[in-house]
Structure formats: structure tokens, C-alpha cells
Structure 1
């Protein structure tokens, strides 16, 4: 399979986003499983009408507690310098909502392609300064995100700590 073709950032953005979301969910399930947590998820069928792409719930098997998060996912190719994303303003004030920017890189090792994902999420303290818009959407810039890309294990802790 040619992953670079499947994840081509110039074509089929909806299909690409679905593939990346599924990889993200699988990696998040593994990371949370290592912490004794299980993950359930729902993919939004509303076409972003409510602002989120995924609803994820973590069940902590030791504490018998659940936590739910609403995620708006944005993707960018590692080679791309994208630094603004349009987000639904309803997520800004919701403490259970996150914007996650997924940096995607296809790498080849021993003639086998793999997808590497790294993550940034918005810094809620910086988001509080944004004014809501009448359109229900707001442009978020890279400086509204945490400074460095992180791996899935750290993101899992940020989402469900």
C-alpha cells in the first residue's frame, strides 16, 4: 500500500481525516490501556455542526469513573507550515472540549511505510482571551496551542488526567 497516496494532503481531505482519526483512536486506546483505562468513541455525523469531530470517553477500571471529551481534530502534513485553523466557538468555553492538531508524517523503514502522528492541543488559558464570533467560527493561530508537539502517551494524560 502506498500510504503517501492515501494521506495525500492535496486530495480527498475527508477520507484522509477519517483514516487519521482511526489511527489516532487506535493509538489512544493503546496508550490509555497501559494506564488501566478503556476508551469508547463516537464519530460525529453532523458534519461539524456542533464543533466536534469525536466524542471520546475514558473509563478508569481502577477508580470506576468515566470522563468524556469532545475533540475537534485538525491535521497538517509535517512539511506544511499551516498555522491557522478554523474552529467552532462553542468549544472554547467548554472545559471538556479540545482542539487537537495532528502532525502527520509518512516514514519508510526497511521498505515498509508507517504513519507517525504527533499532537498539539490548544492552551485553554490563551483561548479565554478570544471573543466569540457571530458566525460561530473563529480562526485559531499556532500561538494558541501548546509550544511543542507531543506523543500520544502525553496527550492521553492531558486529556484524561
Structure 2
């Protein structure tokens, strides 16, 4: 089968980066501020703080776009599920991964309210991790074909479809 070009990320990596990087930069900025000479003027201190905040935001944006959301090549066939990251990222240990269908726990299609598109959550058993795949810009049709093929293998190998949380928690009439 043909490989699909998709963006790959893991929520755990995203969360660690979104919390860890600002904490690191703020700690570094405070350390530098407390070690500045007292003779430094207020405008100079304010400029230094503004520059460090701008640098932190730019670095966080760069890491998010290039190191967290990484372009990947995904292949699915009767043997299993394979993805390979197009470029290396210091945040991901695995750049090439393959597993048989019995190692896939669940497959979910979810709507992204922020970007207005769909992404696909695939849960793996061994090693246990959750991968998120979303379409690249201008590759939405390819992502639709990917999910159609993924649905076929899901049904063929009896992989459960995990419903999004908001659908699962609908109230029942049993409490009336």
C-alpha cells in the first residue's frame, strides 16, 4: 500500500514541552534578574525582561512546530501499522515503529475544535503509547483515505473503536 504523509505527535510530549520549557525559561530569567547589578536602569531591566519573554515564546513556537508535531510517513497493510518520522526530533526516541494489528488497542477519529479538522488517535499495546496523526496542510484527502483504510483493518482485525469522551458520557434515563 502507498505511504501516507501525516503529522505525528504524542500528548505527553506536548504537555511536557508546554509546561517544562516556560518553567525553564522563567527560572533562567529570574536567575539572571537577581544577578543583575543594581546600577542597571529600569528601562534596561524592562527591555531585558521583554526580550527574554519574546525569546521564550519564539523558542516554544519553534519547538512546537518542528519538534513536537513532526511529519511522518505512515504505511498500513495486512501485516500491520508502520510509521517513520521524516526528520529526527530530540523529543521522540522512536523514529521508526512497526507493530502487528494485534498490538493495536484502539483507533479513534476525533474532531479538533481549534484547527477545525480531524485527527486520528491510535493506541498501541506493547510498548504502550498513544500516537496522534493529523493531516498535513493540503493533504486532507490523503488523510481521509488513510482513515478509510485504517477503518478497514480495524474491522478486519476486530480492533475496538473508542468513542470520544463527550459521546461516552451522555446521561441515561435510568436516574429519572
What TM-score, normalized by structure 1, do the two folds share?
A: 0.24
Whichever of the two has the greater Rg, that structure is 2
> By percentage of residues, which structure has more helix?
2
What TM-score, normalized by structure 2, do the two folds share?
A: 0.22
> By percentage of residues, which structure has more strand?
1
Question: With CA pairs under 8 Å and 6+ residues apart, which has the higher RCO, 1 or 2?
Answer: 2
